């Protein structure tokens, strides 16, 4: 079932329920008012009859019956009984209602002084009327035919009116729902035309002064398409570069092995070959390791993987590892503001990933620092931690600075240096996973990578 049809049905259902409640309320209120009016009429008839019998001397039972015969309303089928204190009938009007009041009913009327009840589908009231020390029990009954006819007429009017309104509302709801959802239908047709080959296609957004939900949906969808386009482009570029970088060492390994197998070689040749193969193997292994780490860095960190980390401890550990790989490079650690307590350098993170990121930054500084000391500066405040790693190698050209964190990109100042162009990309992704920022700056004529981490 479409949203258009479902919306129209919901509107019809709600309106029908409200109309049913309203019509029921009107009908019941009218019925209750009609019943009260008829009961009042019966009461007046009872009182007038007993007054004529007891208070007007000229009127006796025979004359009262004659009056009653000439004034009785046959439509209402009215009937009046008057009983004395001993429950003897002293007067009974002329009609076709043959009924004798029971002793229990008479006792109830005397006890309550006024009672409403029914007699053979006739409405009736009973009351006690006192005159000169005598109590008369009067019962007046009748059929409210006029009221029943009015109720039936009202019921027909309400039923026809309710059905007419429901039909009108159903038609209006369908038309309105169709008109309201028309932009959504157009949006759906445009979305159907989008595929993985046309992610750069934008959904048309009607220019209006208002910003309704469908317009917001179209804007959000266009933004999602931009993100998907960027993701697909990065994925294709990554696959192309990764295939190229993996193909080169594999081709070198294959060529060397094929060349060695063509004829017998000297032991020294085979030794040199094995050393070369080992070097290519190490290069390939390192590339695969970085690609795996880059993949892992694209996944969100689970809460269970976060630990309390002290920045000075993780930095000391990374510096020890780099010192073993690059003993020729001096690492100088400074604090912008010296921590007075251990908690100043405390934050939550994944120690394994952060170690990989800092090692990558230090490795990059040592490799391209031209043998100059690498300056490491740590700063902190109540909310943030900062790490600044500075090397005095050749400055990165301005044209390359915007692509430093692109996979497999290598700046023109890296000629003659081995690498895959993944270290900075991996570090940047890991820092972003920790809600931080990594940026490149030039400070005092030197390359400087600044990492900001939240506590």
Q: Are residues 313 and 275 in the same domain?
A: no
pLDDT of 374 higher than 70: yes
What's 334's domain CATH number? 3.30.565.10
Q: Are residues 34 and 139 in the same domain?
A: yes
The reply to whether 164 falls in a domain is no
Instruction: Tally the C-alpha atoms within 13 A of residue 159's C-alpha that lie toward its C-beta.
Output: 6
Residue with tokens 């309104």: 165
Task: Give the chain's domain count.
Answer: 3
Per-residue pLDDT band at 290 (split at 50, 70, 90)? low
In angstroms, the CA 116 to CA 144 distance is 14
What's 218's domain CATH number? 1.10.287.130
Q: Which of 297, 327, 359 is the last residue of a domain?
A: 297
The reply to whether 69 falls in a domain is yes
The reply to whether 196 falls in a domain is no
Expressed as residue numbers, the domain containing 85 is: 3-152
Specify which residues 446 forms β-bridges with: 443
Q: Note whether 103 and 92 are within 8 A (CB).
A: no
Neighbouring C-beta atoms of residue 430, cutoff 10 Å: 27
- Of 290, 283, 293, nearest to 251 by C-alpha is 283
pLDDT of 168 higher than 80: yes
Q: Are residues 136 and 242 in the same domain?
A: no
Q: Are residues 315 and 435 in the same domain?
A: yes
pTM of the model: 0.47
- Of 170, 102, 166, nearest to 139 by C-alpha is 102
Q: Which of 184-198, 222-236, 332-346, 429-443 has the lowest mean pLDDT?
A: 184-198
Q: Note whether 340 and 381 are within 8 A (CB).
A: no
Mean pLDDT over 283-308 rounds to 63
pLDDT of 74 higher than 50: no
Per-residue pLDDT band at 219 (split at 50, 70, 90)? confident
Q: Are residues 113 and 130 in the same domain?
A: yes
The reply to whether 223 falls in a domain is yes
Q: Which of 279, 297, 315 is the last residue of a domain?
A: 297
């Amino acid at each position: 079932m479409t949203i258009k049809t479902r919306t129209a049905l919901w509107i019809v259902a709600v309106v029908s329920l409200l109309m049913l409640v309203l019509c029921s309320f009107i009908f019941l209120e009218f019925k209750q008012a009609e019943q009260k009016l008829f009961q009042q009429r019966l009461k007046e008839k009872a009182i007038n009859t007993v007054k004529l019998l007891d208070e007007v001397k000229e009127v006796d039972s025979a004359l009262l019956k004659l009056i009653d015969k000439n004034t009785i309303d046959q439509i209402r089928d009215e009937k009046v009984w008057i009983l004395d204190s001993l429950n003897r009938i002293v007067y009974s009007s002329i009609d076709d209602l043959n009924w004798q009041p029971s002793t229990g009913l008479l006792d109830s009327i005397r006890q309550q002084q006024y009672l409403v009840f029914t007699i053979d589908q006739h409405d009736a009231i009973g009351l006690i009327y006192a005159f000169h020390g005598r109590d008369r029990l009067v019962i007046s009954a009748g059929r409210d035919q006029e009221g029943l006819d009015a109720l039936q007429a009202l019921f027909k009017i309400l039923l026809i009116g309710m059905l007419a309104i429901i039909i009108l509302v159903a038609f209006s709801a369908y038309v309105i729902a169709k008109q309201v959802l028309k932009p959504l239908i157009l949006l759906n047709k445009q979305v159907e035309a989008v595929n993985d080959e046309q992610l750069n296609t934008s959904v048309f957004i009607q220019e209006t002064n208002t910003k309704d939900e469908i317009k917001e949906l179209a804007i959000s969808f266009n933004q999602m398409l931009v993100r998907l386009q960027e993701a697909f482009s990065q994925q294709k570029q990554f696959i192309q570069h990764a295939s190229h970088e993996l193909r080169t060492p594999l081709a070198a390994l294959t060529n060397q092995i094929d060349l060695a197998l063509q004829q017998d070689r000297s032991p020294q040749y085979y030794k040199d070959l094995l050393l070369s193969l080992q070097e290519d193997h190490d290069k390939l292994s390192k590339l695969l390791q970085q690609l795996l780490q880059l993949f892992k860095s694209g996944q969100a960190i689970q809460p269970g993987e976060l630990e309390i980390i002290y920045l000075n401890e993780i930095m000391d550990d990374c510096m020890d590892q780099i010192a073993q790989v690059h003993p020729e490079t001096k690492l100088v650690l400074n604090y912008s503001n010296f921590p007075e307590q251990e908690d100043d350098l405390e934050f939550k993170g994944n120690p394994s990933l952060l170690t990989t990121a800092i090692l990558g930054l230090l490795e990059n500084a040592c490799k391209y620092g031209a043998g100059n000391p690498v300056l490491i500066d740590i700063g902190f405040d109540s909310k943030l931690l900062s790490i600044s790693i500075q090397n005095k190698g050749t400055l990165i050209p301005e044209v390359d600075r915007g692509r430093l964190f692109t996979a497999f990109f290598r700046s023109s100042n890296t000629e003659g240096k081995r690498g895959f162009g993944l270290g900075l990309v991996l570090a940047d992704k890991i820092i972003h996973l920790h809600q931080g920022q990594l940026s490149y700056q030039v400070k005092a004529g030197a390359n400087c990578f600044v990492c900001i981490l939240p506590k």
